[in-house]
């Protein structure tokens, strides 16, 4: 299994098997510094450009053993669960270079209550919230305070633990699922009931070594399943970048009032943050406010953002992991990118697997179009569905309108039984342009 090294080129291990991880592998493959790339466990897309290894992201000891055996120069962690479980602490103890926050710093995502308290104490603009560990007490609070409100499971819930409740009945149902029925297990033992803020959402990702930070271009995720932001929350049905809801002046303000205070507060708490810090924001008439922090690269935001990045991602991640991030501004390709997610019928609920995916070769020949695999696997010589979010089609264009047209032209050529995707990715940007 040992990969052959090409000269002094660096080897990279990407932990995870979704669309974000395929995008990271694809980005590292563009670096002239990088040679062997491993994906654990990867998917059918990473298998084309890297070596998949049969180790899950939660098997930290096996990942350490592999990284030692292969003398991996840098490990980059995609999903939040292994970060929350302490993979960075374990790799550092083994003297292995790794990009991502420690277990303590990853609480910025693994505990919404920790993140809310940190934001309020740091003076970061965010919605007021109440904390509950008792179902009846939370229910009484909603009866008194009313709706709309936002009910959030405290722990990790695969992006599905947040309910924007427009009525008290919806809020009660969210509490019932989370606290009484334990849909998210221990993650729902405590909840936040947060004031509802209306506005337009945006995502800001920053790379930080614990002191310095470089902020990436703004993007916009589409979390709800259906067009017009209807239906249940998902892991994300598409994204585009840059998002015009945040201009340069506002981005500077977000850096000064949200990103930098969070990094400083984590350092002051004894948990300095190294890696990618994700701020999910909402922009209302008063300006940007924090909705949530994540402790890793956004998915599907990076599927739209990284194809626009002109900088060497390996250099960015390696210097961050070494605590020596030496720049504060990224270089970007002009234009825009739009990424549309194709999902299995039934997602985010139950869905079937094993359907052959057609049209990948045709789309792969289109200029400035990339297919990033997520829930896919190889079966004989075919690519088959193996997850809820199956793949994302990313198109680059001179502007968002051009990228939207190209992305939908491409995804329309991909077929599998029950394929579903939103038809309105990027429409908020188009409305602003008008």
Q: How many Cβ atoms sit within 10 Å of the Cβ of residue 110?
A: 22
pLDDT of residue 4: 42
CATH of the domain at 368: 3.90.600.10
For residue 118, is it within any domain? no
Answer yes or no: do 306 and 215 share one domain. yes
pLDDT of residue 385: 98
Answer yes or no: do 317 and 390 share one domain. no
Answer yes or no: do 312 and 382 share one domain. no
How far is CA 248 from each of CA 216, 217, 330, 433, 434, rounded to the nearest angstrom?
A: 11, 9, 13, 16, 19
Strands 129-132 and 369-373: unpaired
Partners of residue 373 on adjacent β-strands: 391
What is the span of the domain harbouring residue 146?
134-189
Strand (E) or helix (H) holding 384: strand 382-385
For residue 117, is it within any domain? no
Strands 389-397 and 369-373: antiparallel
Strands 376-379 and 382-385: antiparallel
pLDDT, tens digit (0-9, with 9 covering 90-100), for 141-153: 999 999 999 999 9
Answer yes or no: do 315 and 238 share one domain. yes
- The span from the CA of 434 to the CA of 425, in Å, is 16
pTM: 0.95
For residue 121, is it within any domain? no
For residue 38, is it within any domain? yes
Q: What six digits make up the tokens of 172?
A: 């009660």
CATH of the domain at 208: 3.30.470.20
- The span from the CA of 392 to the CA of 125, in Å, is 33
How far is CA 226 from each of CA 29, 158, 169, 386, rounded to the nearest angstrom?
A: 34, 18, 21, 21
CATH of the domain at 38: 3.40.50.20
pLDDT of residue 7: 56
For residue 162, is it within any domain? yes
Each residue's pLDDT, cut to its tens digit, for the chain (434 residues) gives: 334 444 589 999 999 999 999 999 999 999 999 999 999 999 999 999 999 999 999 999 999 999 999 999 999 999 999 999 999 999 999 999 999 999 999 999 999 999 999 999 999 999 999 999 999 999 999 999 999 999 999 999 877 788 999 999 999 999 999 999 999 999 999 999 999 999 999 999 999 999 999 999 999 999 999 999 999 889 999 999 999 999 999 999 999 999 999 999 999 999 999 999 999 999 998 999 999 999 999 999 999 999 999 999 999 999 999 999 987 889 999 999 999 999 999 999 999 999 999 999 999 999 999 999 999 999 999 999 999 999 999 999 999 999 999 999 999 999 999 999 999 999 999 998 87
Contact between 297 and 205 under an 8 Å Cβ cutoff? The reply is yes
Task: For tokens 């040679």, name the residue.
Answer: 35
Answer yes or no: do 53 and 164 share one domain. no
For residue 185, is it within any domain? yes
Domain count, the chain: 4
Answer yes or no: do 228 and 149 share one domain. no
């Amino acid at each position: 299994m040992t990969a052959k090294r090409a000269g002094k080129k660096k080897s990279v291990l990407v932990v995870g098997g979704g669309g974000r991880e395929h995008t990271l592998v694809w980005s590292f493959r563009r670096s002239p510094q990088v040679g062997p790339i491993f994906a654990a466990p990867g998917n059918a897309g990473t298998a084309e450009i890297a070596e998949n290894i049969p180790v899950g992201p939660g098997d930290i000891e096996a990942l350490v053993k592999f990284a030692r055996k292969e003398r991996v120069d840098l490990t980059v962690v995609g999903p939040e669960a292994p970060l929350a479980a302490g993979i960075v602490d374990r790799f550092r103890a083994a003297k292995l270079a790794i990009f991502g926050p420690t277990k303590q710093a990853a609480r910025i995502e693994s505990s919404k209550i920790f993140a809310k308290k940190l934001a309020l104490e740091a003076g970061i603009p965010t919605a007021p919230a109440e904390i509950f560990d008792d179902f009846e007490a939370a229910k009484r609070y909603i009866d008194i305070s009313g709706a709309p409100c936002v009910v959030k499971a405290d722990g990790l819930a695969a992006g599905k633990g947040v309910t924007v409740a427009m009525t008290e009945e919806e809020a009660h149902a969210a509490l019932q699922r989370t606290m009484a029925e334990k849909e998210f297990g221990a993650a729902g033992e405590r909840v936040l009931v947060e004031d509802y803020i209306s506005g337009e959402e945006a995502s800001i990702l920053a790379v930080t070594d614990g002191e310095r930070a470089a902020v990436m271009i703004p993007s916009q995720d589409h979390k709800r399943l259906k067009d017009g932001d209807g239906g249940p929350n998902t892991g994300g049905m598409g994204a585009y970048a840059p998002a015009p809801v945040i201009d340069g002046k506002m981005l500077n303000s977000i850096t000064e009032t949200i990103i930098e205070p969070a990094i400083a507060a984590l350092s002051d708490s004894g948990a300095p943050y190294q890696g990618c810090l994700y701020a999910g924001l909402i922009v209302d008439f008063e300006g940007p406010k924090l909705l949530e922090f994540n402790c890793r690269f956004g998915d599907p935001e990076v599927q739209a953002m990284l194809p626009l990045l002109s900088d060497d991602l390996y250099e960015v991640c390696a210097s961050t992991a070494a605590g020596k991030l030496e720049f504060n501004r990224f270089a970007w390709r002009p234009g825009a990118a739009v990424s549309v997610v194709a999902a299995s019928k039934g997602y985010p609920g139950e869905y079937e697997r094993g359907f052959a995916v057609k049209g990948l070769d045709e789309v792969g020949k289109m200029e400035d179009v990339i297919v990033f695999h997520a829930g896919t696997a190889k079966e004989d010589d075919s690519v088959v569905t193996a997850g809820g979010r199956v793949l994302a089609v990313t198109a680059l264009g001179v502007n968002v309108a051009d990228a939207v047209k190209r992305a939908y032209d491409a995804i329309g050529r991909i077929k599998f039984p029950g394929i579903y995707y939103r038809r309105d990715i990027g429409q908020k940007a188009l409305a602003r342009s008008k």
